């Protein structure tokens, strides 16, 4: 939670152990690089998708752990207002205005 960007040695051990269980040849593999990323989440836990109060700015964010899985459907939903000035009714309940 929050903006703590430190890299957790325990988590690295856990991932490494899981990888080695699947692929035993990785047991002694050298760790060349470590990396962390944030998983931003909205206040109600659902993505924020749709036109913002700034004209021409359409947002698609707050996906927490599902941003990759939901990228294709998000691209379609966001293309509607960008290309056709149309908004899928599904998007209305995810709009940024729900926090107004």
**Residues at the contact surface with ligand FAD, assessed by CB under 6 A:** 37, 39, 61, 63, 65-69
Q: Which is nearer to ligand FAD, 66 or 92 (CB)?
A: 66
Q: To the nearest whole angstrom, how small is the minimum distance from the Cβ of residue 41 to ligand FAD?
A: 9
DSSP, collapsed to helix, strand or coil, labels residue 59 as: strand
Cα torsion 76, 77, 79, 85 to 10°: value is 140
**How many C-beta neighbours within 10 Å does residue 78 have?**
18
Q: Which is nearer to ligand FAD, 3 or 84 (CB)?
A: 3
Q: Which is nearer to ligand FAD, 67 or 95 (CB)?
A: 67
Q: To the nearest whole angstrom, how small is the minimum distance from the Cβ of residue 89 to ligand FAD?
A: 23
Q: To the nearest whole angstrom, how small is the minimum distance from the Cβ of residue 9 to ligand FAD?
A: 15
> Closest residue to ligand FAD, Cβ-based?
67
Cβ proximity of 77 and 100 under 8 Å: no
Cβ proximity of 50 and 94 under 8 Å: yes
């Amino acid at each position: 939670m929050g903006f703590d960007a430190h890299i957790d040695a325990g988590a690295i051990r856990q991932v490494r152990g899981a990888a080695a269980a699947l692929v035993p040849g990785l047991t002694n593999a050298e760790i060349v690089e470590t990396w962390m990323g944030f998983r931003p989440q909205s206040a109600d836990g659902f993505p924020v998708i749709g036109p913002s109060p700034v004209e021409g700015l359409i947002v698609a964010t707050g996906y927490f752990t599902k941003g990759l899985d939901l990228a294709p459907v998000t691209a379609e939903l966001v293309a509607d207002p960008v290309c056709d000035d149309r908004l899928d009714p599904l998007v209305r309940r995810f709009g940024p205005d729900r926090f107004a």
